[in-house]
């Protein structure tokens, strides 16, 4: 590899996005706040050490329709619905963050990360407790919930439980749940081996359900209206099957899952080069995860996954001849559709993970006209994180509570309504509209929340109504935890 060419390429990148050339932030502070955010999203009975103190208990009767306790878990965003699909993905990414970068975290933040994971996995274990016959995929009717502006503590909307019974399909949710439980079993293996074993046993059951009854959960007419268009699996369920198998392979080292990944790769679309990674599409993350075995030199039969991972990384590099990712003028990864920061954080995270894999064996990626080194990928990831933290044309931190200039009017019910601690009177469904339409800042600061972010022109209006830009989500923050853990330990990556 021509190292002078690689150094020239880095110089060109810094010229393209000059505002990112020398930036550094208090990544440790940002990490602490990114993890703290999850406490503001909690559903269920809150513990005494709850740090987001303007929140209180909510959803305690969830599951009553089935005479089963489905309390706990996370609200995915600024509403009061517990969507199982993105919650499971959030959990997978939190666990992956700990697996890859937990050793870089201070003990206090590693503990807080594990608490955040367990808040989700305790709920996910409930969701799969009736397997092999039934999986619970959602609590709350989003159509009704979204017609209200109501604190979670005041919810009087239908807490409809959405379940899928065998032989009806739910490969996407069950596959992602298997991935979440398997990844979390690795994260808990040293600190709580008994809990780790429980997670792994249930991950295997969830994967069996996903594989035995193939199809998307939105294929079931009885729940379709409750999950679509919010969290339909628009890209198909096949990637979740491979994703779940890949995490079970990593958690068990069982060749059964290796054989599954090898033999089902083509039929389940593993060679599809789809340039994204998120709750709906696992291909890029799958390829990175599986590539570790190839890079370490032990499993050449998975070479096609590494080739796809290499190809994806090449698409991220603006100077590469195979670049396919759009950037705003200020340098932020951009994909249309809203909640864009999810793409920036997930891409930053898997870039850092892949850079670490490559760096252990001093490998680089041949992108045709350039070689991309681990340093290049780390610098690219750092620029995304720095943009989020304030190195952008507006000079705005898109993380609430970080720096002195951040969004004040986020699209979030609990944050925008008076805290039940300050205003204990019931606020009904439509009574919250005055707070939704208010131009005043939110009274409760949801520290660590990262909003959906600016448009393709780097423009962001601090507008609660514009949910595509102003709503935070758990799956924006989850991969950011890993990226910040790396940067807190390596603020000037090389």
* Annotated catalytic residue within 233, 411, 412, 458: 411
The one-character DSSP state at 66 is G
Sign of CA dihedral 92, 93, 94, 100: positive
Q: Using CA atoms, how far apart are residues 192 and 190, in angstroms rounded to an integer?
A: 6
Q: Which residue has the tokens 């060749």?
A: 255
Contact between 246 and 290 under an 8 Å Cβ cutoff? The reply is: yes
462 annotated active-site:
yes
Count of CB atoms within 10 A of residue 287's CB?
Answer: 29
Sign of CA dihedral 229, 234, 238, 239: negative
Q: Using CA atoms, how far apart are residues 392 and 403, in angstroms rounded to an integer?
A: 14
User: What residues does 334 pair with on adjacent strands?
Assistant: 326
Please report, in angstroms and rounded to a whole number, the separation of the first and last CA atoms in the chain: 17
Q: Which two tokens stand for residue 345?
A: 């954080």
Residue (of 154, 141, 102, 66) closest to 423 by Cα position: 154
Q: Using CA atoms, how far apart are residues 399 and 264, in angstroms rounded to an integer?
A: 40
Q: Using CA atoms, how far apart are residues 348 and 278, in angstroms rounded to an integer?
A: 12
* Annotated catalytic residue within 240, 280, 293, 471: 471
Radius of gyration of the chain measured on its C-alpha atoms: 21
DSSP SS3 for 161: strand
Q: Using CA atoms, how far apart are residues 432 and 228, in angstroms rounded to an integer?
A: 25
User: What residues does 399 pair with on adjacent strands?
Assistant: 450
Q: What is the DSSP string of 255-268?
A: HHHHHHHHHHTTTT
Q: Which two tokens stand for residue 154?
A: 């005041």
User: Residues, the chain, total?
Assistant: 494
Residue 277: left if φ>0, alpha if ψ -120 to 50, beta else—which one?
beta
Q: Which two tokens stand for residue 429?
A: 């469904």
Q: Using CA atoms, how far apart are residues 153 and 134, in angstroms rounded to an integer?
A: 29
* Annotated catalytic residue within 29, 122, 462, 463: 462
471 annotated active-site:
yes
Contact between 203 and 185 under an 8 Å Cβ cutoff? The reply is: yes
Count of CB atoms within 10 A of residue 214's CB?
Answer: 15
404 annotated active-site:
no
Task: Give the active site residues.
Answer: 411, 462, 471
């Amino acid at each position: 590899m021509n190292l002078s060419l690689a150094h020239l390429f880095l110089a060109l990148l810094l010229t393209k996005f000059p505002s990112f050339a020398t930036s550094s932030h208090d990544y440790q502070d940002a990490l602490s706040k990114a993890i703290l955010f999850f406490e503001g999203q909690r559903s269920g009975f809150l513990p005494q050490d709850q740090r987001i103190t303007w929140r209180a208990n909510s959803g305690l009767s969830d599951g009553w329709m089935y005479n089963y306790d489905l309390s706990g878990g996370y609200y995915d965003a600024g509403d009061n619905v517990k969507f199982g699909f993105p919650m499971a993905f959030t959990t997978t990414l939190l666990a992956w963050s700990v697996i890859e970068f937990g050793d870089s975290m201070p003990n206090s933040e590693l503990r807080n990360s594990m608490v955040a994971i367990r808040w989700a996995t305790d709920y996910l274990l409930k969701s799969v407790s009736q397997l092999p016959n039934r999986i619970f995929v959602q609590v709350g009717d989003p159509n009704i919930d979204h017609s209200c502006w109501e604190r979670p503590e005041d919810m009087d909307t239908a807490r409809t439980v959405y379940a899928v019974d065998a032989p009806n399909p739910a490969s996407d949710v069950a596959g992602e749940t298997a991935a979440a439980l398997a990844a979390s079993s690795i994260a808990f293996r040293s600190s709580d081996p008994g809990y780790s074993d429980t997670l792994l046993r249930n991950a295997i059951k969830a994967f069996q359900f996903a594989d035995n009854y193939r199809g998307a959960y939105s294929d079931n007419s009885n729940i379709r209206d409750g999950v679509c268009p919010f969290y339909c699996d628009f890209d198909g369920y096949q990637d979740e099957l491979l994703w779940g198998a890949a995490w079970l392979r990593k958690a068990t080292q069982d060749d059964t899952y290796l054989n599954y990944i090898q033999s089902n790769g083509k039929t389940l679309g593993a060679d599809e080069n789809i340039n994204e990674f998120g709750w709906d599409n696992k291909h890029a993350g799958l390829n990175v995860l599986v590539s570790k075995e190839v890079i370490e030199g032990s499993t050449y039969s998975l070479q096609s996954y590494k080739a796809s991972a290499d190809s994806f990384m090449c698409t991220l590099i603006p100077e590469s001849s195979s670049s396919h990712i759009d950037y705003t003028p200020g340098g932020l990864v951009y994909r249309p559709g809203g909640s864009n920061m999810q793409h920036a954080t997930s891409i930053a995270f898997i870039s850092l993970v892949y850079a670490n894999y490559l760096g252990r064996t001093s490998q680089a990626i041949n992108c045709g006209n350039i070689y991309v080194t681990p340093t290049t990928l780390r610098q690219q990831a750092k620029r995304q994180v720095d943009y989020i933290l304030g190195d952008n044309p507006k000079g705005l931190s898109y993380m609430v509570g970080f720096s002195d200039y951040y969004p004040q009017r986020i699209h979030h019910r609990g944050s925008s309504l008076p805290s039940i601690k300050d205003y204990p009177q019931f606020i009904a469904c439509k009574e919250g509209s005055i707070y939704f339409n208010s131009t005043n800042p939110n009274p409760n600061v949801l520290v660590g929340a990262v909003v959906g972010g600016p448009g393709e022109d780097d423009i962001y209006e601090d507008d609660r109504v514009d949910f595509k830009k102003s709503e935070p989500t758990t799956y924006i923050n989850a991969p950011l935890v890993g990226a910040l853990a790396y940067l807190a330990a390596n603020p000037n990556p090389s």
